[in-house]
Amino acid sequence: MEPVAPVAVSLADPQLYINRELSWLEFNQRVLDQALDDSVPLFERMKFLAITASNLDEFFMVRVAGVKTQLAGGVADAGPDGLSPAEQLARISARTHAMVAEMQRCLREQLLPGLANYAGIELVRPTKMTAVQRKHLAALFADQIFPILTPMAIDLGHPFPHLRNKTTNLAVTLVREGAKAASLAVIQVPGMLASLVELPPSPTGPRRSFALLADVIALHAGEMFPGARVLAAFGFRVTRNFDLAIDEEESADLLATIQKEVRRRDRGNAVRLELEAGVGADVRRFLAEALKLGDDDLYEVDVPHAIGDLLPLCVPAAPVASGMEETTAVGPRLADEPFTPQVQPRLRDAETLFSEIAKGDVLLHHPYESFATVIDFIEDAAEDPNVLAIKQTLYRTSGDSPIVKALALAAERGKQVTALIEIKARFDEEANIHWARALEEAGVHVVYGLIGLKTHCKVAMVVRREKDGLRRYVHFGTGNYNPATARLYTDLSLLTCRPQLGTDASNLFNLLTGYSQPPVWHRLVVAPLTLQERIIELIRAEAKLARSGKEGRIIAKMNALVDAETIRELYEASRAGVKIDLLVRGICGLRPGVPGVSDNIRVISVVDRFLEHSRIFYFRAGGKEEVFISSADWMPRNFVRRVEAMIPIEDPALRTRVVAEILGTMLADNVKANLLRPDGSYVRLRPGDAEPQLRSQVRFLEIARAHAEAAPLATMQLRARTPVSLRPSPRRGRVNTTPPEREVVPVVVAPAPEPAPAQQTLPTRTASPLPER
């Protein structure tokens, strides 16, 4: 860990700032800590380990690749923390090597044995396979795997092949007939096949057994090279620079440019090489030289596949222990207790969602309260004949988005529909291009945002004709319009028809579609225009109150705190006597607890079942209590390079709920909260001897259930929505939205499937079960 910074005269002292890359690695360690925690259910521990590995993939693809690019370009400039690119890479390598070693031990010594002992599932490596299992694999390989494979020799006539990002490959050393020396070949493990192959169970082992696809191919590598003797076959995996470099101002067609860059992305420079443990020194050296990597870029792993490929193992072959109890008759519980997002009682019996919003603002706390209300907001607008226009931003959405379908339906029915789709959203570029084209075919006016900026704000506006004229209904959110991640991330939604917020929402969309900046923003604070200035103004106001002897208080919840100017203002406020609590889930560049500088600042990170994603800012303001939600973290990219929105919570009851119920509960967490220490490390908070345990996310689940049970329904029913097919109609070239008759469909819970028998047909790879970012 970094040394504790001394009291510094200058707030520009690099010792007062934690490097963002090293801080992010500490966040990933907190995720890994959940995988190491034996109080967490076994399947959830596997998920946390897979998320840790997936996070590292992205970290290397973007952040490490960026630092390497700086170093290669001769950039020597240091950030606020004073570390040069070379110093950063050295510290990153040391930290990540230690982390990867800990991940491998967790998988090898805890999780895989746990799956065998408590879930009846084992991963069988080649040395442990029975004769029956090997015979089964031999037939399977010949029938379903061998025809797909392409062996690639490496010699003067066969240069080292290009290997795609994050694919698993085998390095095969062999001796050809008549040759004096061994040679090397590469076999790419087919990405379209599932990474796990089910085996006949061992008579004395767990009920279900699986092998890695890479191991199956390695066992039969000799069949790929007739006339040669295979000496060894080891798995390896390459990670590449996967970021896009786009000059928007020089691009005549941004959509086409991004499509072209996405196709080229797989050819980025290698930034990391993962090698199966035991690989020979000669092979290790050859691969490193072929990929132009140094020793610091090489990582030994037990399993050549991505850890996320092992998640299909987390299906019990024995009765599942569930519920909140720590153990049951069959051993430790395997999975978290299922939960159902709740619907607020005031919304259940509402005549329409719009009529309820007209009575007063609605605040939703996701995932505890259902995101279905937000979907209903757009779907109701699409079907309501009194709705004239819908405008919405889309940064990331789900694969089969009901919101996109509702926008298409609205356009087909003649409403004015505008969708601002951010096609530069990292790793979602292709999906967003698909949605953009589908919506254009439906008649939606699609806009790609402003040159040089990403549109990150989450805003949807509905213009509705009512008796007293047109009224604007607006949804503001802290998270994406993605029903899948809305069950995994914590976020806030505000539904309102306040006139000034409606006017500001209209002005925001006009800014995005027509470059027309309004003369004044009534209540909304927008980046990159005034958000940073407003945040600093609010911090300074608290410092001024503290200097005058009054109470200064700041509570801010966000994903990341990096902006150096904002951190300096927080230091100044702390010096003035302002009490500051920061709930920062991920990166934090501020160093708390430094005497004379930040001893009034406490930083807490909560890492639990759901990814903390909401942004909430509270300023006491002399008792007036200003509360905001936002799409923005306190980072330069959010302040300068993105379109963001910060929205005031104006209803007094909702303000109280946000401050007391949400922020207050999180600050009291003593189970899943981690305290940032001055040296940059974190320590898990624990309750005192007489202090009861409080796990904030469990408490929020209890609160949502209690609210919902206050007004129970005799029968829970779901309304069937008009299905929309996002395919061009042959007759009109538009989206086919012919509605069937509406009906009421009762909720039906399907029984859990029986465990599958040993596979005779090799399954294809399914979508990643990891949450989307």
State the catalytic residues: 456
Q: Which amino acid is at 273?
A: L
Q: Which residue has the tokens 């800990």?
A: 102
DSSP string, 414-466: T-EEEEEE-TTSTT-HHHHHHHHHHHHHHT-EEE---TT-EE--EEEEEEEEE
Tell me if 721 sits within 8 A of 483, measured CB to CB. Answer: no
What is the dihedral sign for C-alpha 343, 346, 349, 353?
negative
CA distances from 142 to 227, 700, 726, 748, 773 (A): 18, 53, 40, 43, 39
Tell me if 604 sits within 8 A of 578, measured CB to CB. Answer: no
CA distances from 448 to 109, 394, 421, 436, 515 (A): 49, 10, 5, 9, 12
Find out whether the peptide bond into 345 is cis, omega within 30 degrees of 0: no
DSSP, res 550: S
Cα 513 from Cα 509, distance rounded (Å): 6
Candidates 525, 477, 505; CA nearest to 377 is 477
Q: Are strands 168-176 and 183-188 parallel, antiparallel or unpaired?
A: antiparallel
Find out whether the peptide bond into 528 is cis, omega within 30 degrees of 0: yes
Q: Which residue has the tokens 């132009």?
A: 292
| Beta carbons within 10 angstroms of residue 40's beta carbon | 21
Cα 185 from Cα 768, distance rounded (Å): 29
The dihedral over CA atoms of 704, 708, 709, 714, expressed in degrees to the nearest 10, equals -150
Tell me if 381 sits within 8 A of 471, measured CB to CB. Answer: no
**And the tokens for 661?**
């119920």
Find out whether the peptide bond into 519 is cis, omega within 30 degrees of 0: no
Cα-based angle 200, 203, 206 (whole degrees, multiple of 5):
75
Cα 392 from Cα 463, distance rounded (Å): 12
Cα 686 from Cα 268, distance rounded (Å): 45
Q: Which residue has the tokens 């929505």?
A: 721
Tell me if 422 sits within 8 A of 458, measured CB to CB. Answer: no
Tell me if 494 sits within 8 A of 361, measured CB to CB. Answer: yes
Cα 601 from Cα 567, distance rounded (Å): 11
Packing angle of the helix pair 85-105, 42-58 (nearest 10 deg) = 160
Cα 304 from Cα 215, distance rounded (Å): 9
Q: Which amino acid is at 680?
A: G
Cα 571 from Cα 421, distance rounded (Å): 38
**And the tokens for 206?**
């767990």
Cα 639 from Cα 530, distance rounded (Å): 8
Cα 93 from Cα 655, distance rounded (Å): 44
What is the dihedral sign for C-alpha 77, 79, 84, 90?
negative
Within 182-276, residue ranges assigned H as helices are: 213-219, 254-264
What is the dihedral sign for C-alpha 741, 746, 747, 753?
negative
